[in-house]
Amino acid sequence: MPLSDLRQKAAEWHRQGKTIAVTNGCFDILHAGHIASLTEAAQHADVLVVALNSDSSVRQLKGESRPVNDEQARATVLSALGVVDAVVIFSEPTPRDLIVALQPDVLVKGGDYKVEDIAGAKEVLERGGKVIINPIVQGFSTTSIIEKMQSPPANGNR
């Protein structure tokens, strides 16, 4: 959903008294860790918006070989998840401006971040919102999936 449309939708959700959570990430190869994080994020509000890194921003963060799946494919997969109410793609280095525009009640980030290091956290807190850090589900990462796919199996079979 384009940001201009999503801003209108967010204003409508707020008028309806719904709470909005925003989370963000690359979501390149969707795995069980992503599903756990998104499911947890959705439990903190009535509506979950996923801010998805554009292809160019994924390359800047992860290197020239990424993303594996382009932004439209990643957005389609995320949009199909029942816990996700909207997906918006951003190209800026951080989703801060998008977060400010949407004025979510909750900002959710997965990982081992400190609140002060999360883009948009200051603005959400200043509005009286919450910032939640979901722990990473161990054993799942897109990078490890890619590495596993690229290394030959021990028995020689794929």
CA angle 4, 78, 9 (to 5 degrees): 25
Average pLDDT, the chain: 91
> Residue 81: what pLDDT?
98
Alpha helices for the chain (secondary structure H): 3-15, 32-42, 55-62, 71-79, 96-102, 121-126, 142-150
> Residue 146: what pLDDT?
62
Question: Which of 64, 50, 29 has its CA nearest to residue 108?
Answer: 50
Q: Report, as ranges of residue numbers, the positions in the chain whose pLDDT lies below 70.
A: 137-148, 154-158
